[in-house]
A and B are shown apart, each in its own frame.
Chain A
């Protein structure tokens, strides 16, 4: 098993799927000649040529819509958004068309499209480039949303997304692109909708997704070393579908829950999970559910403040101790 980066894992997934299925096409701004704005698609043009790896103009509504139309005829486009923030100029296509076509046609038409790209704050680029729309998009039935936190999950989820017959939106994170981890060289998928226990524990359950998983694992370390607390970290991996059973099983074991995400608090993913836990495991809880989100403001530009706006280990530790008190 090779140790590769999150970025290389995504690329490996795309390369393998491009080889496996001639209907797979990579499309987006700067994905081909420029080798990718974040180098995720580096080398693919050279390997697969311009028919399979297609540079688009800066025209998200146009090219995402084009990808949706092509997917209706059985092409499997993997569309890169340079930032998920740019999906907002293509919202009608991303939500109304991709998300509704199967339903409104009574099941006659499928939309096997993948839209992928980074969705994160913390890179000092200001509010318009730092959106995390997983909760917004997952609130639409018809759409699937996944948020890999590790190289292993990035490859496995990307491959599953490309093979999926429904629209799957893969939210990556530029801060994770260089993170390294063990990734099998051979073919595997991570089924969409299966959470992963990234760390086992007995005193507190932390539920997180995306980079918040990494933050939570760091916090768990501190909690164990400095406070003698055993923390279980549940990585959702997929927002919709959602692995409710793994969350509930963990809460039944620890009886305390802290929800950590990089979204803003209002109607974040955690709002749904808090509802789930209270509805299915109310009597199991020994304390109110805790929560750490980004501080509720548009994403701050100033680097030091932005780092404090997002969840960071010390904030997670403080919130955990409150739930444990």
Chain B
């Protein structure tokens, strides 16, 4: 019996990084010079924000966990750049980039990290729990895979309303072995829901490599076949390729109301979180190799310099502005007030926060 070829990586990732073969893809050919500069600027902003976070964390101003996105920028930037009015998104705990890319301010994001009342979740969520429902961003979720049924439900609501939309439901490679993910896959395919499951495969579920966690050989996206879903693998170091392949999945969602699984290969430069010393499961050379040859921000920068869209001077000014914005956000986070003890018991119940003629519940709901 002939064995099926085991697909492990997208073709473009097997070759040394060069000019993107997706630059002229319809999804990218339509981009104006200004669009391209804006996309690069967004990626640079994500990187500088995250790098600024490291300093604040090291100063002891960020509690709990801090999961950085440095190295993965093209994934969120490419996918989110395509979203329209009825397209929604939800992700796991590595969620800062997604927030910034839908238009959240660096200030509210930074202040959330330092637990201030000016934070996007008023200091109640922290790093893993950014939300901006007014921008169709539904978080920011801490439990691995737990957000995947929610994203499927958002897509269900879009379809129920008859809207031409979708929900980009992000997860890491570690989520793929959670039962909730498979249950959501089944529902999405069974009910033809316009959801795009985006596996951001950075190679490690915390400190466990794919080989040590996942029985299925080859790529993770292929598991979609078990649910009769279309899937693809994507080079996540090339923002043009991310856009090209996401556009196809979005079209499928919008026009056929069908789900897709996209596995986007990417890499994180820092540990799983800041508390991960990053010494036990990979070597420094591996990280160095990615930084030097596959960095998504630098590759896009080079691409746009070659296209004549960017100039060295423009690159410098964009990066300087992003750094300045991150610095200002850090000052804002520093100077913002702490929440108060009275704030602890707010935002638990809608009814408690909206007492009036429309509220019907009575009785004690917050206990001594």
Contacts and interface: CB of A to CB of B under 8 A. Distances in A.
* A, B bound: yes
Interface of A: 25, 51, 56-57, 59, 61-75, 92-93, 96-97, 101-110, 112, 141-142, 144, 160, 163-166, 189, 191-195, 238, 240-245, 272, 279
Given A62-B184, A62-B187, A107-B122, A72 B362 contact: no
Contacts of B367: 242, 272
Contacts of B187: 56-57, 59, 62-63, 66
Nearest to A110: B350
Contact of B180 (A61, A110, A194): A61
A25 B160 contact: yes
A51 B184 CA distance: 19
Contacts of A244: 363-364
Contact of B186 (A62, A107, A242, A279): A62
B153 A241 contact: no
Contact of A65 (B146, B190, B362): B146
Given A61-B179, A72-B154, A166-B349, A93 B360 contact: no
B313 interface: no
Given A92-B146, A141-B366, A108 B153 contact: no
Nearest to B128: A104
Interface in B150-204: 150-158, 160, 167, 179-180, 183-184, 186-187, 190
Nearest to B350: A165
B362 A105 contact: no
A242 B353 CA distance: 18
Interface of B: 88, 90, 119-125, 129, 131-134, 138-141, 143, 146-158, 160, 167, 179-180, 183-184, 186-187, 190, 346-351, 353-354, 360-368
Given A62-B149, A165-B350, A242 B364 contact: yes
Contact of A96 (B146, B157, B364, B368): B146
A166 to B, nearest CB: 5
B361 A144 contact: yes
Given A59-B183, A106-B125, A109-B138, A67 B153 contact: yes
11 contacts: A61-B183, A65-B150, A72-B138, A92-B180, A93-B180, A105-B121, A106-B347, A107-B347, A142-B349, A160-B361, A166-B350
A49 B183 CA distance: 24
A108 B121 CA distance: 8
B150 A97 contact: yes
Contact of B361 (A59, A96, A241): A241
Given A66-B149, A68-B150, A70-B157, A108 B365 contact: no
A103 B180 contact: no
Of B122, B160, B353, chain A has the most CB atoms within 10 Å of the CB of B160
B186 A68 contact: no
Contacts of A93: 146, 149, 180
